[in-house]
Amino acid sequence: MGYLFLLDMCFSISTDLDSQLHRAYENNDAEAIKRIVSELDNSTDLPLHFTSGFAHQKMLIYTNWEPFTPKPAYWGLIPKTMKTLAEAHKIWNMTLNARGETLFEKKSFKDAIKYQRCVIYVRGFFEYYHYEGKKYPYFIQNADGRSMPLAGIWSEWTEDILAPIYPTFSIITTEANPLMAKIHNNPKIDEPRMPVILEEDFVDLWLDPNVEQFSPKDVEPFLQPYSQNKLKAYTVPPLTGKQGVGNTPGATKKFTYPELK
């Protein structure tokens, strides 16, 4: 079938409406922003101080079809080849991330990377550091506090012509930079990873509507690990479980674990 995937990383993020509208703000079109906000109404699950991809929250993406107008989409790409809603739900948890190096090899991703690319703006993302049998959450964001553009692919799926349409996306990952290699030290994985964070100059290129089809050669320059000097990372409170702060503003607050000093 070609639909089984090794779970990668970047399963938890933090974002809000201001972060997600970053590209629209950059375009300095106040009327467009006002219209976008009005049209969105309650069509997303924002704000998301902390969310796991496994919750399949609805966020905003910018696509190469409409580079400056965000559209709501669910996290977890559903390939168009899925025939039933049951099949779609079965694969949903396995397509939260798309490994950059094998995008053109995977049946679920190869059409999307050629024709349907997107950017997801977030405040930052969470990753766990493993130490003496326990794991500790880190929050990683741009050092200057700017919204973080993550490279993705997207698709629209429906069970039949009369059924609802599901816009969905996956976040692309690449090899970790030194900072992320230190944090993402899960002993169960083969190699540390990180999401593809786009340089601002690369966002327009990734979303260029005039590029009809991407090739492996076209994608390669985007897969370079983001510089660790442009990131900051710090430990945050437990996010899940009995002591977890969950989807609250406290999820991105600094928290010290004495055993890590």
Question: Alpha-carbon distance 125 to 92, whole Å?
Answer: 20
Q: What is the pLDDT of residue 10?
A: 67
Q: What is the pLDDT of residue 37?
A: 80
Q: Which residues have a Cβ under 8 Å from the Cβ of 152 and sit 6 or more positions away? A: 61, 98, 117, 118, 119, 120, 169, 170, 171, 172
The dihedral region occupied by 176, where left means phi > 0, alpha psi between -120 and 50, and beta the remainder, is: beta
pLDDT tens string 139-183: 999 999 999 999 999 999 999 888 899 999 999 999 999 999 999
What whole-number percentage of the chain has pLDDT above 70?
Answer: 95
Q: What is the pLDDT of residue 3?
A: 38
- CB burial of 2-32 (b: ≥16 within 10 Å; e: otherwise) equals eeebeebbbbbbbbeeebbbbbbeeeeeeee
Domains detected in the chain: 12-130+145-229 (3.90.1680.10)
Q: What is the pLDDT of residue 189?
A: 86
Q: What is the pLDDT of residue 1?
A: 34
The dihedral region occupied by 246, where left means phi > 0, alpha psi between -120 and 50, and beta the remainder, is: left
Ordered DSSP codes for the chain:
--------S--EEEE-HHHHTHHHHHTT-HHHHHHHHHHHTT-S---EEEEEGGG--EEEEEESSSTTS-EEEEES---TT--SHHHHHHHHTT-SEEEGGGTTT-TTTHHHHHH-EEEEEESEEEEEEEETTEEEEEEEEETT---EEEEEEEEEEESSTTSPEEEEEEEEEEEPPHHHHHH---TTSSS-EEE-BPPHHHHHHHT-TT-----HHHHGGGGSPPPGGGEEEEE----SSTT---SSGGGGS----GGG-
Does pLDDT of 72 surpass 70?
yes
Bridge partners of 257, per DSSP, are none
Q: Residue 115's CB: how many other CB atoms inside 10 A?
A: 16
pLDDT tens string 174-215: 999 999 999 999 988 889 999 999 998 999 999 999 998 999
The CA R_g of the chain, rounded to the nearest whole Å, is: 18
What whole-number percentage of the chain has pLDDT above 90?
Answer: 76
pLDDT tens string 244-258: 999 999 999 999 999
Quote the pTM value.
0.93
Is residue 16 a contact partner of residue 46, using CB atoms and an 8 Å limit?
Answer: yes
Burial tier of 210 (Cβ tally within 10 Å: 0-12, 13-18, 19+): exposed
